[in-house]
Amino acid sequence: MRISVIGCGYLGAVHAASMAKLGHDVVGIDVDPARVETLARGIAPFFEPGLSELLVEARDRLRFSVDMGAVRDADLHFIAVGTPQQPDSNAADLRYVEAAIDGLLPHLSAGDLVVGKSTVPVGTAARLAERVATTGARLAWNPEFLREGFAINDTLSPDRLVYGIAPGDVAAVTVLDEVYAGAIKAGTPRIVTDYATAELVKVAANAFLATKISFINAMAEIAEATGADVTQLADAIGHDPRIGRRFLNAGLGFGGGCLPKDIRGFMARAEELGVDQALSFLSEVDAINLRRRSRMVDLTRESVGGSLEGKNIAVFGLAFKPDSDDVRDSPALDVAMHLLDEGAHVVATDPKAIETARSKCPGLDYAPDAATAARDADAIVVVTEWAQYKTLDPHGLAPLVAARVIIDGRNCLDPAVWRAAGWHYRALGRP
């Protein structure tokens, strides 16, 4: 099929390359010329495992452009532009979606299918469908569930597909089945529904995941007050298959370009609909999540003698999670900035996110690796659980630091190993 993908960020670039991998002819459109140029050279503009390789592998069927006119040859158009939180409210900012539709409309032909993938407030698709219909084209909403760090695998082997379609638009289902034929395995669930349900499935899934994380972080608060161990608690309750162990990792909590803004956008939309009470628990989910960041700063302050002023703090991790260079609403970067605000001399490191962090926070000092960051540190704080931090050698680091103090913000280290090596070990939710 001939496909266009409008918006080539963390979602769109992966989607465009994956659609080409499935055998389709794809053009990716973005308003950012530097991003388009990088992608056109077969280079991923951000870190996502396997993306650069896929861009090269699929290059014969994949091109990128800043010119919306390049979509003319395609008859299926994915919308994958950003829907960030508005600067002055919790609501989603739809200006990029509107601009993408504005740009697309003059190039649509009767029979084209526009497919929304961006995460939008419920009601958006129905509104956009009316605009698209003026050209004789149709609209479907096909929310995306990929995780950064696993994005290609999640796209090529989705755990479910959701098609939100206009009443009776069976032709859209046929087209989407054809698009994803190479990705659908026997037994891949495929839910065909209306626009509103499709839009809600997406935000409900993210709200559930955020709630699960905040639930275990609430238990971490109780564990801290009682001397209990939240990681053992998570293991124990996670053995119940009705609960499950995944997404029960207590620590600094959730960040990134999606969970935080999606729960806030969902609450804002519920308020507009007059059903804000239904989601009032999500403001508690948000509050628990943000409290973990201040608790981490408190723990660091306590561990260096009550004041951060003039202390050397090594921050291990900047990305919002491992295997990503994304620092959007990163708990790690947030903690680093708070430590700096309290007068600490912060040296931060990350295997992949130094440049994205530097462009956001030029005031931090950055070191190329953990050993350099640890030099003369009064404390090390581990705030992103990269594999290389989980296997750090306490004996190797000891001669570098000013004091053997480590605060594990992701419960990713073995306290026994660090304590046996003479370190003062503290963690969120563990004695």
Ligand X SMILES: O=C(O)[C@H]1O[C@H](OP(=O)(O)OP(=O)(O)OC[C@H]2O[C@@H](n3ccc(=O)[nH]c3=O)[C@H](O)[C@@H]2O)[C@H](O)[C@@H](O)[C@@H]1O
Ligand Y SMILES: NC(=O)C1=CN([C@@H]2O[C@H](COP(=O)(O)OP(=O)(O)OC[C@H]3O[C@@H](n4cnc5c(N)ncnc54)[C@H](O)[C@@H]3O)[C@@H](O)[C@H]2O)C=CC1
Cite the active site residues.
258
Q: Does 28 bind ligand Y (CB under 6 A)?
A: no
Summarize the annotated binding site as residue ranges. Answer: 30, 35, 83, 119, 145-148, 202, 247-251, 255, 261, 321, 328
The answer to whether 191 touches 222, Cβ cutoff 8 Å, is no
Residue 35 touches which of ligand Y, ligand X, none (Cβ within 5-8 Å per kind): ligand Y
Q: Does 176 bind ligand Y (CB under 6 A)?
A: no
* Strands across the sheet containing 113-116: 62-65, 25-29, 2-6, 76-79, 113-116, 138-141, 161-165, 190-193
Among 47, 96, 215, 389, indicate the residue that binds ligand Y (CB under 6 A).
Answer: 96
* Least distance in angstroms from the C-beta of 98 to ligand Y: 8
Sequence-ordered list of residues with C-beta below 8 angstroms from that of 181, at least 6 positions apart, any chain: 22
Alpha-carbon span 336 to 317, nearest angstrom: 9
Q: Is 371 exposed, middle or buried (0-12, 13-18, 19+ CB in 10 A)?
A: middle
Stretch in the footprint of ligand Y (CB under 6 A) among 48-56, 140-148, 186-194, 406-414: 140-148
Closer by beta carbon to ligand Y, 229 or else 329:
329
Closer by beta carbon to ligand Y, 7 or else 164:
7
Residue 12 touches which of ligand Y, ligand X, none (Cβ within 5-8 Å per kind): ligand Y
The secondary element (H helix, E strand) that includes residue 124 is helix 124-133
Closer by beta carbon to ligand X, 223 or else 304:
223
Residue 247 touches which of ligand X, ligand Y, none (Cβ within 5-8 Å per kind): ligand X
Concatenate the DSSP letters of all residues of 406-421 into one string.
EEETTS-S-HHHHHHT
Among 32, 276, 342, 365, indicate the residue that binds ligand Y (CB under 6 A).
Answer: 32
Residue nearest to ligand X (CB): 258
Sequence-ordered list of residues with C-beta below 8 angstroms from that of 404, at least 6 positions apart, any chain: 394, 398, 421, 422, 423, 424
Q: Does 10 bind ligand Y (CB under 6 A)?
A: yes
Alpha-carbon span 273 to 264, nearest angstrom: 14
* Contact code string over 76-95 relative to ligand Y, x by CB under 6 A: ----xxxx------------
Closer by beta carbon to ligand X, 138 or else 430:
430
Residue 377 touches which of ligand X, ligand Y, none (Cβ within 5-8 Å per kind): none
Closer by beta carbon to ligand Y, 8 or else 58:
8
> Both tokens of residue 193?
């529904």
Alpha-carbon span 251 to 395, nearest angstrom: 24
* Least distance in angstroms from the C-beta of 236 to ligand X: 15
Residue 254 touches which of ligand X, ligand Y, none (Cβ within 5-8 Å per kind): ligand X
The partner residues of 92 in beta bridges, in order of sequence, read 85
Concatenate the DSSP letters of all residues of 12-24 into one string.
HHHHHHHHHHTT-
Which residues would be at the binding site for ligand Y (CB under 6 A)?
Answer: 6-12, 29-32, 35, 80-83, 96, 99-100, 103, 118-119, 144, 146, 148, 257-258
